[in-house]
Amino acid sequence: MKRLSDIKFSTLDLVPVRENGSAAQSLRNSLDLAQHVEKFGYNRFWVAEHHNMDGIASSATSVLLGYLAGGTSTIRVGSGGVMLPNHAPLVIAEQFGTLESLYPGRIDLGLGRAPGSDQMTARALRRERSGSADDFPEDVTELLRYLGPRTPDQRIIAMPGTGTNVPVWLLGSSLFSAQLAGERGLPYAFASHFAPRYMHEAIRVYRNHFKPSAVLDKPYVMLGVPLVAADTDEQADYLATSVFQRILALMRGQSLVQRPPVKTMDGLWLPHEREAVHDFLGLAMIGSSQKIRAKLEVLIEQTQADELIFTCDLYEHSDRVHSYELLAQVMRG
């Protein structure tokens, strides 16, 4: 049985844009956070591809990863993830092959099959491309071929990219990618930071379908976990209202810019909305170090996960940094 101290821990930064803030400041905050969590002992720092969202500044994911990798020295940097239907596999192979060539041994390529936006934006992204989620298994195969060793009959190569063997992860919030990751022998990251309901079933499907590969001899599961750690439970509950407001705005189709915390959410949401937000954040670790340690120990006991990747969307950047610092102390025991 795994103990908390056995588990690797990582950061998923949604590069949040705050009310009256700017994308430029959010990007600088992302690098500052990466530099801090590197010192705190985190394993990897991922950012995700989102589009047409005024509260998330990570749309040009590979460009941002170059900035983050260039400003850090040891932490792994990667995508959590690139939404592959939006891109030709060759383009992603070239981008991540370039990153791996510049920062060898530090780059991860996490892949998702959703558009990372609404359908209208997806059409704007793809233009004449017919890419869709249905093509995902074939696109993954093509991408892996570009990143692997060049074969004698290979007429199209990624340069840089060929022979870099950038580690590829499959990401998902449903069972499709869990099964595909297992069959391909790839590491799997489940988006339990927003879809906790399917977590246990996805883990079971992945492990049951797992076939050893050149990159993995046994399953490797990473779980997304929302985080709001503070010095006291009361302070954490207060800071978490910024997260609640953001998820509520997402559900209502409103602006996703970060809003400052409030003393109470009463009057800001209806009862069914409150229930929906708490379902969305069902795996959230909100509280003091002692409370979070207890909840994490239960999570590890129930899932036997290999790694946890935490997302922390707080209004003040200093509160986010402190939250990750407290978590590191919990994880190291």
Residues 202-219 pLDDT 10s:
999 999 999 999 999 999
Averaged pLDDT for residues 71-89: 95
* Two structure tokens written together for 289: 């170090």
Q: pTM of this prediction?
A: 0.94
In this prediction, residue 174 has a pLDDT band, given cuts at 50, 70 and 90, of: confident
pLDDT digits (tens, 9 = 90+) for 1-43: 888 989 999 999 999 999 989 999 999 999 999 999 999 999 9
Q: Which residue has 């590191």 as its token pair?
A: 328
pLDDT digits (tens, 9 = 90+) for 255-309: 999 999 999 999 999 999 999 999 999 999 999 999 999 999 999 999 999 999 9
Averaged pLDDT for residues 132-139: 81
Helices (H), the chain: 23-40, 61-70, 89-102, 119-126, 136-147, 176-184, 199-209, 233-252, 271-280, 289-303, 317-331
Residue 126 in this model has a pLDDT that exceeds 80:
no
Sketch the domain layout of the chain as residue ranges. Answer: 4-331
Query: Residue 194's pLDDT is what?
Result: 86
Q: What are phi and psi of 41, to 5 degrees?
A: 100, 15
270, HSE (Cβ side, Cα atoms, 13 Å) = 4
Share of the chain above pLDDT 70, in %: 94
- The CA distance from 137 to 149, in Å, is 20
Give the mean pLDDT of the chain: 93
CA distances from 265 to 260, 261, 273, 282 (A): 12, 9, 11, 17
Q: Which residue has 């509520």 as its token pair?
A: 248
- The CA distance from 146 to 244, in Å, is 41
Query: Residue 2's pLDDT is what?
Result: 85
* Exposure string for 10-24, b = 16+ CB within 10 A, e = fewer: bbbbbbbbbeebeee
Q: Which residue has 């850090």 as its token pair?
A: 72
CA distances from 251 to 131, 200, 248, 266, 277 (A): 27, 24, 5, 17, 8
- The CA distance from 208 to 219, in Å, is 9
* Two structure tokens written together for 156: 């199209």
Identity of the amino acid at 318:
S
pLDDT digits (tens, 9 = 90+) for 219-261: 999 999 999 999 999 999 999 999 999 999 999 999 999 999 9
Residue 132 in this model has a pLDDT that exceeds 80:
no
Q: How far is CA 144 from the centre of its chain?
A: 20
Residue 130 in this model has a pLDDT that exceeds 60:
no
Query: Residue 135's pLDDT is what?
Result: 85
Class of 4-331 in CATH: alpha beta
